[in-house]
Amino acid sequence: MANSLKCINSISSNIRNISTTTAKNDAWLSKIFVRKIEPTKESHSRMLSDKEVIYALQTHNYRADSKKPYLTNVKNIVDWIGTQDSLNKNVQLVGSWTVNVGDQDQALHLWRFIGGFQQIDAFNNLTDTSLEYQKIQEEQGKLVRARHLQYLLAFSYWPQILLRQPKNIYEIRSYALKPGTMIEWGNNWARAINFRKNNDEAFAGFFSQIGRLYNVHHIWCYENLNKRKETRESAWRSPGWDECVAYTVPLIREMHCRVMVPTEFSPTQ
């Protein structure tokens, strides 16, 4: 009888241990699997962005021996746009950078179109009929190896873009998401961004509208690489940041980051 009771007690103890282990595993797994988002008839862009402002991100791979003339060419384009009264200051250069770490011999230029796609149409009509602009573009074609253009919307939960004073470096973290996961991404980053506000490093956050779809770009601003290290380590010490990361990692198909430095004519430094 005593041996039977010992056997029963041992089995009960093992069951409790298994239950405890299972509960811990379930808690861990709950951070890995993506939460379900209910279907909606509203477009994702309307749910994630509340501004009638379109951003254009130009990515240029310039020839390794042509950096200086290439930047002069881009500066000429910026100056030409600034002289066009018909644009009414609705087309603005926000930032211009060359890549320091990541894709070498690459430059990124971020433009803001106030007035949405209607303003972009007006801009395209103007540049299509300007011989001066076309000449500058032809010169650029001789200096670059590849060009890519994306139209983006800003995430509504991201802090307002504020131009920075020198001297800073910028990091653009680009994510290719699984189709259908943009709302889930936005839900999680609406919370996650709160963990990254202490050092004012959040510069801009976008998702693509035209170009490579289901692309997200987060742009961060740091004083230097060491400040970047300290800021990111600080985020990991904040309760809740690890959970936000765990929820968003399964949404990503591909990601990469580039460290950039502003050009001389970039409005944000």
Confidence of residue 42 (pLDDT cuts 50, 70, 90): low
Residues 107-130, mean pLDDT to the nearest whole number? 96
**One-character DSSP codes across 33-46:** SPPP----SS-HHH
Mean per-residue pLDDT of the chain: 85
Residue 55 clears pLDDT 90, i.e. is over it: yes
Q: How far apart are CA 183 and CA 180, in angstroms?
A: 8
pLDDT score at 28: 38
Of 46-50, 128-132, 198-202, the poorest mean pLDDT is in 46-50
Residue 39 clears pLDDT 60, i.e. is over it: no
Nearest to 154 by CA among 58, 70, 55, 233: 55
pLDDT score at 45: 59
Residue 65 clears pLDDT 50, i.e. is over it: yes
Residues 52-71, mean pLDDT to the nearest whole number? 97
What sign results for the dihedral spanned by CA atoms 153, 158, 163, 164? negative
- Confidence (pTM): 0.82
> What CATH fold (topology level) applies to the domain 50-262?
Alpha-Beta Plaits (3.30.70)
Helices (H) and strands (E) in the chain, counts: 8, 8
**Residue of higher predicted confidence among 33 and 160:** 160
pLDDT score at 43: 54
